[in-house]
Structure 1
Amino acid sequence: MPPLHSMTTLRRLKLLLAAAELVCVAASLTAAWQAHASMEMSGLGDLDRFAFWNSIIALSLMLFFLLWVAAVLLALFARQREHFGSAARYWKHLVPDVLLPPVLLAAGWLAFVVLQ
């Protein structure tokens, strides 16, 4: 295995973290949709199913934030190892793995709230 500071290894690890974060976003939104479908706004419905899907939401959000913190730490580690010619180039490298997943999570939840 190449050393951790290798560019290809870091890039692969960043993409893996971003993909895992996006899976957590999808799981969270899907579970929210299922939880919403299991209970009516009046409070009638399957309470056990609602609690199950809410626990899936909580677990996927916790995992998302743990992965996101790992991505931030990896980005800081990469900044120490790499030399970026400009601030714009550094921010461009942060978009796919650090900045985009939380924006997608917020946009997905906003869309879910608005569409319900």
Structure 2
Amino acid sequence: MFDIGFWELMLVAVVALIVVGPERFPGMIKKVAYWIGKFRRIAATVKSEISEEVDKAEQLQNLLQEQKEILRRNASIDLSQPAVKPKSLEQKAKATDEAESPSDSSSQAVTKNKPS
């Protein structure tokens, strides 16, 4: 990440040892290690959350593309011809009569069975 080599790290450690002193140096190293670990955990969490959000965005993008493709296919249907041919008035009247006749016979059956 920062591309710090072994010799650069040793130079920083020697300067820190001179500045802080040998008594406080181990405690300072523990604190630095603690903060570096905490920073790495936070960075890993942020990285995983960003990755999850990118995956969700890609899924939404794919769904949107599929919906656009479906709409494009449906829009290409020939609208000059009707989907269902209209029935003539005679056919509509027959269908209406046939639909009404079973209900009439059932009402007659109910009236026949009714005690007077």
Q: Which has the higher contact order (CA 8 A, sep 6+)?
A: 1
Going by fraction, where is helix more abundant, 1 or 2? Answer: 1
* TM more than 0.5: no
Q: What interval of TM-score do these two structures reach, taking the shorter chain for normalisation?
A: 0.3 to 0.5
Larger Rg computed on CA atoms: 2
Structure 2 length as normaliser, TM-score?
0.34
Structure 1 length as normaliser, TM-score?
0.34
